[in-house]
């Protein structure tokens, strides 16, 4: 039930929300502003804002010095590929857990989630050696597999939560109507869970796009995505903050735009089933 | 064809035997109603026939073929669910055509059959709507339409009217009965509402704790209940049951008399005091506490000018007393 809120309280709450949002967004904003400053302005102390020297040179130099389109394309392939592959594996898994749960399904789900709590560095050496042996180092295919495995617990968990909201009787009706397992998932379950699947896809694309640990370790040049592209601007000669900021802005811009346009879908998907 | 035979069918969930051992024969074209209180196993039995649950032991034959381990799609049955179970993302047309699509029929054939079903069920004007844009009754019709187009060996209904309001329930009850009369296909209908069972069925199967208490026509069950459970379950208001000296006088452990078989008459053998009275216009229900302590319900025709606290004498109609032994079974 909606509660009556006084205008004063409403103003204070709005102000608090905007303040928190600004604090969260400030580093991104500062990075974008820095990307338009000269190197001298970028490192000036106290920090310059109004009196800074503004320039587009950083972007031009970053574009010339590196092959941005290749990094960008690698990011697209790796994040989309790992998410789509993850969905293909996770949809049947989540179906089984949601609609034909066994005695240990809950334990299995908890175990899957617990793997996300493990520090990634703990499996760094074994995974690196495994990839080396299989010839997967610096390949997009290798990264797709690695990131799919990293994000699979989250994908399964999210889909499991959405699937549980779908009445089992509808799937039984499909079975009575002659649908086998594949057709039941394809024609009935997937379209019904589409909002949930879409937000799972979006969130995992974002997670995979932002993944830096594994992408830097498992790639060198050929398959390196935008996270490695940023890292390449921290040169041994020192940090060039303005150029680094320009590179970072170029790296996050696509996902920031995607996130902006899909925010409604994301919020809807993440709160799916929370309120009946 | 739609003859279904259950032989020693047993269903357990872990240690709990929901259906201990059931034998039942359903003839082709029959309208059979499974009735019983909540948790008696009637829906489980229907789901076993549908193939949505696996039997623990026993055999299910459909038209002489062993269907015990066949998947639901290959049993040739259609089911209408309590929640309608329509596909919310599909239009009414696509919902009805779904089983035909799964069967691999051409789009032309699908459309022909959909149009035919829609005509029968008065859904022709709603074919392009989604389930969310329909009323409860229309949704139930779509669910029935989806079942009809398959031309199944038998229809299975799992409490299909319980989500509808009282008036619509009566209309849909009649529509399903008429549908049975025109299609002449076997129908198995699960309900806990004994009025639905009495008005729709050719044959009623009364279930209690997973066991069949009695199988028979509605009037068979009403006039000749096999035991105390059936006597108490079939009929509304329920049968009055009297134990003690009055029952012993009839050489029984318990005697039963239906409320409509008690006459209010001067000099009647059972004297008592009127408690609650319910005036329905066509009938009056009176709760009468006998001097011997038993509480009886009396159904009197029309309006009766008796009030709380009035003294009455009741007489059971000749030959209408049911006698039951100490084991609860009816005595001859």
Q: Do B52 and A170 touch (CB under 8 A)?
A: no
Q: Which chain B residue lies closest to A182 (C-alpha atoms)?
A: B102
All residues of chain B having their beta carbon less than 8 Å from the beta carbon of residue A192 are 87-89
Q: Which chain B residue lies closest to A171 (C-alpha atoms)?
A: B85
The mean pLDDT value for A44-72 works out to 85
Residues of A with CB under 8 A from a CB of B: 167, 169-170, 172-180, 183, 187-188, 191-192, 194
Q: Tell which of B13, B14, B52 to mutate to test the A interface (max A CBs under 10 Å).
A: B52
All residues of chain A having their beta carbon less than 8 Å from the beta carbon of residue B83 are 167, 169
For residue B70, pLDDT over 70 is answered with: yes
Name the more confident of B137 and B11: B11
Nearest to B89 among A167, A176, A192 (CB): A192
Q: Which chain A residue lies closest to B76 (C-alpha atoms)?
A: A176
All residues of chain B having their beta carbon less than 8 Å from the beta carbon of residue A172 are 52, 72, 79, 81, 85
The mean pLDDT value for B135-144 works out to 90
**Residue A199: per-residue pLDDT:** 86
**Residue A272: per-residue pLDDT:** 52
Q: Which chain A residue lies closest to B149 (C-alpha atoms)?
A: A177
Closest CA–CA distance from residue A175 to any residue of chain B (Å)? 6
Q: Which chain A residue lies closest to B79 (C-alpha atoms)?
A: A176
Q: Tell which of B14, B46, B54, B85 to mutate to test the A interface (max A CBs under 10 Å).
A: B85
**Residue A29: per-residue pLDDT:** 92
Q: How confident is the model at residue B189 (pLDDT cuts 50, 70, 90)?
A: very high
Q: Do A169 and B83 touch (CB under 8 A)?
A: yes
- Tell me the ipTM for this assembly: 0.84
Q: Tell which of A178, A181, A191 to mutate to test the B interface (max B CBs under 10 Å).
A: A178
Work out the mean pLDDT of chain A and round it to a whole number. Answer: 87
Name the more confident of A2 and B122: B122
**Is B124 within 8 Å of B89 (Cβ atoms)?**
no
**Residue A236: per-residue pLDDT:** 66
For A142-197, the pLDDT digits (tens) are 999 999 999 999 999 999 998 998 888 999 999 999 998 899 999 999 899 888 89
Nearest to A188 among B81, B83, B87 (CB): B87
Show the tokens assigned to A109.
Answer: 């789900």
Q: How confident is the model at residue A3 (pLDDT cuts 50, 70, 90)?
A: low
Q: Of A82-91, A266-275, B202-211, B301-310, where does mean pLDDT reach its minimum? A: A266-275
Q: Do B85 and A179 touch (CB under 8 A)?
A: no
Work out the mean pLDDT of chain B and round it to a whole number. Answer: 93
How do the domains of chain A map onto residue ranges? 66-232
**Residue A275: per-residue pLDDT:** 39
Q: Do B72 and A167 touch (CB under 8 A)?
A: no
Q: Do A174 and B87 touch (CB under 8 A)?
A: yes
CA distance B203 to B31: 6
Q: Do B86 and A170 touch (CB under 8 A)?
A: yes
Q: Which chain A residue lies closest to B104 (C-alpha atoms)?
A: A178
Name the more confident of B309 and A232: B309
Show the tokens assigned to A139.
Answer: 């390949």
Name the more confident of A250 and A240: A250
For chain B, percent of residues with pLDDT exceeding 90: 78
Query: Domains (ranges, CATH) in chain B?
Result: 4-230 (3.40.50.300), 257-324 (2.40.50.140)
**Residue A269: per-residue pLDDT:** 61
All residues of chain A having their beta carbon less than 8 Å from the beta carbon of residue B99 are 177-178
Map chain B to HEC letters.
CCCEEEEEEEEEECCEEEEEEEEEEECCCCEEEEECCCCCCHHHHHHHHHCCCCCCEEEEEECCEECCCCCHHHCCEEEECCCCCCCCCCCHHHHHHHHHHHCCCCHHHHHHHHHHHHHHCCCHHHCCCCHHHCCHHHHHHHHHHHHHCCCCCEEEEECCCCCCCHHHHHHHHHHHHHHHHHHCCEEEEEECCHHHHHHHCCEEEEEECCEEEEEECHHHHHHCCCEHHHHHHCCCCCCEEEECHHHHHCCCCEEEECHHHEEECCCCCEEEEEEEEEECCCEEEEEEEECCCCEEEEEEECCCCCCCCCEEEEEECCCCCEEECCCCEECC
Q: Tell which of B73, B78, B130 to mutate to test the A interface (max A CBs under 10 Å).
A: B73
For A77-94, the pLDDT digits (tens) are 999 999 999 999 999 999
For B237-280, the pLDDT digits (tens) are 999 999 988 899 999 999 999 999 999 998 889 999 999 999 99
All residues of chain A having their beta carbon less than 8 Å from the beta carbon of residue B97 are none
**Residue A276: per-residue pLDDT:** 33
For residue A118, pLDDT over 50 is answered with: yes
Other C-beta atoms within 10 Å of A229: how many?
23
**Residue A268: per-residue pLDDT:** 67
Q: Report CA torsion sign: B196, B10, B1, B83.
A: positive
All residues of chain B having their beta carbon less than 8 Å from the beta carbon of residue A175 are 52, 71-73
For residue B68, pLDDT over 50 is answered with: yes
Q: Do B98 and A177 touch (CB under 8 A)?
A: yes
Closest CA–CA distance from residue A94 to any residue of chain B (Å)? 20
Closest CA–CA distance from residue B74 to any residue of chain A (Å)? 7
Query: Domain spanning A66-232: which superfamily?
Result: MetI-like (1.10.3720.10)
All residues of chain B having their beta carbon less than 8 Å from the beta carbon of residue A169 are 81-83, 85
For residue A264, pLDDT over 80 is answered with: no
Q: Do B85 and A172 touch (CB under 8 A)?
A: yes
**Residue A273: per-residue pLDDT:** 45
For residue A47, pLDDT over 90 is answered with: no
The mean pLDDT value for B219-229 works out to 95
Closest CA–CA distance from residue A191 to any residue of chain B (Å)? 7
| Cβ-based contacts under 8 A for chains A and B | 59
**Cα–Cα nearest to B5, from B43, B32, B44, B39:** B32
Closest CA–CA distance from residue B85 to any residue of chain A (Å)? 5
Q: Do B89 and A191 touch (CB under 8 A)?
A: yes
Q: Do A169 and B86 touch (CB under 8 A)?
A: no
Residues of B with CB under 8 A from a CB of A: 50, 52, 71-73, 77-79, 81-83, 85-89, 98-99, 102-103, 146, 150
All residues of chain A having their beta carbon less than 8 Å from the beta carbon of residue B88 are 170, 192
């Amino acid at each position: 039930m909606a509660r009556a809120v006084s205008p004063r309280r409403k103003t204070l709450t709005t102000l608090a929300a905007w303040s928190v949002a600004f604090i969260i967004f400030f580093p991104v904003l500062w990075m974008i502003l820095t990307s338009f400053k000269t190197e001298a302005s970028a490192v000036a102390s106290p920090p310059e804002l109004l009196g800074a020297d503004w320039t587009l040179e950083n972007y031009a130099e970053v574009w010339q010095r590196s092959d941005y389109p290749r990094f960008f394309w690698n990011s697209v392939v790796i994040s989309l590929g790992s998410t789509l592959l993850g969905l293909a594996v996770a949809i049947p898994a989540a179906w089984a857990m949601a609609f034909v749960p066994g005695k240990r399904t809950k334990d299995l789900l908890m175990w899957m989630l617990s793997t996300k709590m493990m520090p990634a560095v703990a499996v760094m050496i074994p995974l690196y050696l495994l990839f080396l042996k299989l010839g997967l180092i610096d390949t997009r295919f290798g990264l797709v597999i690695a990131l799919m495995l990293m994000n699979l617990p989250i994908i399964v968990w999210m889909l499991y939560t959405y699937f549980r909201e779908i009445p089992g009787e509808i799937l039984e009706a499909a079975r009575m109507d002659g649908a086998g397992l594949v057709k039941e998932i394809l024609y009935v379950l997937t379209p019904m869970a589409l909002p949930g699947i879409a937000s799972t896809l979006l969130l995992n694309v974002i997670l995979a796009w932002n993944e830096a640990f594994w992408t830097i370790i498992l790639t060198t040049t050929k398959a390196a995505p935008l996270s490695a592209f940023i890292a390449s601007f921290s040169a041994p000669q020192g940090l060039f903050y303005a150029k680094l900021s320009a590179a970072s802005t170029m790296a996050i811009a696509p996902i920031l735009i995607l996130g902006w346009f899909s925010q409604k879908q994301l919020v809807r998907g993440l709160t799916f089933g929370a309120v009946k | 064809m739609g003859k279904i035979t259950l032989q020693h069918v047993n269903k357990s969930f872990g240690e709990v035997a929901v259906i201990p051992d059931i034998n039942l024969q359903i003839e082709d074209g029959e309208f059979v109603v499974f009735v019983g209180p909540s948790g008696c196993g009637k829906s489980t039995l229907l789901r076993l026939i549908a193939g949505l649950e696996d039997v623990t032991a026993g055999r299910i034959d459909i038209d002489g073929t062993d269907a015990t381990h066949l998947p639901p799609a290959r049993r040739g049955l259609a089911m209408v669910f309590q929640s309608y179970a329509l596909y919310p993302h599909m239009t009414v047309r696509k919902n009805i055509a779904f089983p035909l699509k799964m069967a691999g029929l051409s789009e032309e054939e699908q459309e022909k059959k959909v149009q035919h079903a829609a005509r029968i069920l008065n859904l022709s004007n709603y074919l392009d709507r989604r389930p969310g844009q329909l009323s409860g009754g229309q949704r139930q019709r779509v669910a029935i339409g989806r079942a009809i187009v398959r031309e199944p060996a038998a229809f299975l209904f799992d409490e299909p009217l319980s989500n509808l309001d009282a008036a619509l329930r009566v209309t849909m009850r009649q529509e399903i009965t008429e549908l049975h009369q025109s299609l002449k296909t076997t129908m198995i209908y699960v309900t806990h509402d004994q009025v639905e069972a009495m008005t729709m069925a050719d044959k009623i199967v009364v279930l209690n704790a997973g066991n069949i208490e009695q199988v028979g026509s509605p009037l068979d069950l009403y006039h000749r209940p096999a035991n105390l459970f059936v006597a108490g379950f079939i009929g509304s208001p329920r049968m009055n049951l009297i134990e003690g000296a009055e029952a012993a006088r009839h050489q029984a452990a318990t005697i039963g008399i239906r409320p409509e078989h008690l006459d209010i008459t001067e000099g009647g053998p059972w004297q008592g005091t009127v408690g609650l009275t319910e005036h329905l216009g066509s009938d009056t229900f009176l709760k009468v506490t006998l001097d011997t302590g038993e509480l009886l319900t009396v159904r009197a025709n029309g309006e009766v000018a008796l009030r709380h606290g009035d003294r009455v004498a009741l007489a059971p109609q000749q030959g209408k007393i049911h006698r039951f032994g100490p084991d609860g079974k009816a005595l001859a």
